[in-house]
Chain A
Amino acid sequence: MDFNFIQIILVFAWVFIVAIDQFDLLESLYQPIVTGAVLGIILGDLETGLIVGGTYQLMTIGNMPVGGAQPPNAVIGGVMAVVFAIGSGLETTAAVGLAVPFALIGQYMVTLLFTVMSPMMSVADKMAEKGDHKGIVNLNYLAMAALGLLFAVVCTIGMIGGSAMGKVLTDVFDAVPWLMTGLSAAGGMMRFVGFATLLRIMLSNEHWGIYFTGFALATIIGYIPALSGSALLLIAFIGITLALSDFQTNVAIRNAAGSNVNGGDDDGI
């Protein structure tokens, strides 16, 4: 089935919104159950949109954006599944299968954007130095718009070119497998730059042991699968205890030692 110009424009606009929505805005418009219905209305077959959206939603319930790793992108996958189901009258599962290459491209797009935005943080640093708060705001919106555009363009290509375009597009990336693997690996390592920056500022030489204790505890707890969700909370409890006892000890020492220097100045806690 061919789509008319207005439908393509409306899908473009909706994909632009939900691509951003997967990380920002209401963080719920992008869910297949909602997107399926909206695309169904745009493409003139609400019932199919509802069914495909609901089915795809049930399939993705166990597949939430937890922890920061980038799985094949369910947003773009859901959109294309509905488009193919309505456009070609396919069963939901078949439509979802055809959408998989697009989900992979979505994953690549997100990886690329998050990589490109990393050096942009130095631009943000310069803005902060100048007190340019409007620049920070614009940078945030600019990155959101870039994500929306990337996804909208891919989906439009898929709508016009049909499901075969998915294969063509992934072939482009598959021709240079080391590029996406390399970018993903580099992307996974870049957070260590953020950690190192924090350490450079926060870490005094007497606290190296504390750093390694945090690392050791997280590693131990991380190896217990049942605790993967609560690891950082448990670790925070231990850390708070350590810090609190250090705080209380030092306050007590100062109160004991300082009582004759600036007596009466502090009343402890």
Chain B
Amino acid sequence: MASNATTYTNLTPAKSLDKATLNKMVWRSLNLQGSFNYERMQANGWLYSILPGLLAIHGEGTEDLKTSMGHNLEFFNTHPFLVTFVMGIVLSLEQQKADINTIRAVRVAAMGPLGGIGDAIFWFTLVPIAAGICSNMAIEKNIMGPILFLLIFNVVQFAVRFFLMHWSYELGTQAIELLTANAKEFTRAASMLGVFIVGALTSNYGGTALNPNLALENGTTIQSILDGVLPKAIPLALTLGLYFLMKKHKWTPVMCIGALLVLGILGALVGIF
């Protein structure tokens, strides 16, 4: 659970991260999805990836490191090949000891839109082109097929990862002066954007739907009736329900997960899902 602190105790900006540390985090970013899970998706992998930077910024054993680790374990999901863009910006904010709400809001706002861009670049363009050419070479028993494929894919992948990391860290560092002059207003606006994105994710990532076999006698499914009232009503209701359980009844994430497991399995037994 995230700590409730909203500012770091040591507000002196840390030394700028050197190139070696940034590069180390690029390598770590390869394992962003190592501990992927349904609740927070890439959260733990995200924290794992930026830890070298956080350690350099906040220092081993400090309260600020604990605070920073806590809020960087919240829900995170972005395109794995473009994650270093989010890393660079967030690390520049961490280094300047920006308000925690600001860092969180920027992180959430930056992670969302990258998914579509990354899919378009890598899965819909690069892989089909590279694999199309190289597969035919392989089918003709040419060992250069797989080798060329690996080469093309990884040159592009690493160029993108390294470039985005250094570029977005610079970008964040340059923007920071502008932001700190109007910190309160910026945090408010960034939180707005974050909440807006979480609203969008609720619908966009929300795939939960009723079993299509649940239907009236004339064949109309219950889900289609629900969709007639409000599409994505179930994801919205679940998110808001969990929000109130956490906010008003102090439920922990583990309790929520347990409840959802019971709901999912019972629901499957009686045929709702």
Contacts and interface: CB of A to CB of B under 8 A. Distances in A.
Interface of A: 20, 23-29, 31, 33-34, 36-38, 46-47, 50-51, 53-55, 57-58, 61, 64-69, 114-122, 124-125, 127-131, 133, 136-137, 139-144, 177-179, 181-204, 207, 210-219, 222-223, 229-233, 235-236, 239-240, 242-244, 246-247, 250-251, 254, 266-267, 269
Q: Interface residues of A: mostly helix, strand, loop or mixed?
A: helix
Nearest to A137: B48
Interface stretch (B85-93, B218-226, B248-256): B248-256
A7 to B, nearest CB: 19
Given A64-B123, A196-B242, 11 more contacts: A25-B30, A114-B38, A120-B37, A121-B40, A143-B34, A193-B253, A194-B41, A215-B232, A240-B193, A243-B189, A244-B189
Nearest to B4: A201
A218 B201 contact: yes
16 contacts: A50-B145, A55-B135, A68-B41, A116-B37, A122-B252, A143-B44, A188-B38, A193-B40, A193-B256, A194-B75, A202-B194, A222-B203, A231-B116, A233-B116, A236-B109, A242-B193
Given A34-B150, A121-B40, A191-B75, A199 B195 contact: yes
Interface string B32-55: 111111111101110110010011
Contacts of A50: 138-139, 141-143, 145-146
Given A182-B273, A242-B193, A192 B267 contact: no
A34 B38 contact: no
Interface of B: 1-3, 30-41, 43-45, 47-48, 51, 54-55, 60-62, 65-66, 69-70, 72-75, 77, 80-81, 101, 104-105, 108-109, 112-113, 115-117, 119-120, 123-124, 127-128, 131-132, 134-139, 141-143, 145-146, 149-150, 153-154, 157, 178, 181-182, 185-186, 188-208, 231-232, 235-236, 238-240, 242-243, 245-247, 252-254, 256-258, 260-261, 263-269, 273
A254 B181 CA distance: 12
- Looking at A119, A186, A187, A251, which has the most chain B CB atoms within 10 Å of its CB? A186
- Looking at A118, A179, A183, A247, which has the most chain B CB atoms within 10 Å of its CB? A118
Nearest to B55: A133
Nearest to A215: B199
Contact of B127 (A25, A26, A64, A187): A64
Contacts of A128: 47, 66, 69-70, 72-73
A187 B38 contact: yes
Contacts of B116: 229-233
A250 to B, nearest CB: 4
A124 B232 contact: no
- Looking at A46, A119, A198, A266, which has the most chain B CB atoms within 10 Å of its CB? A198
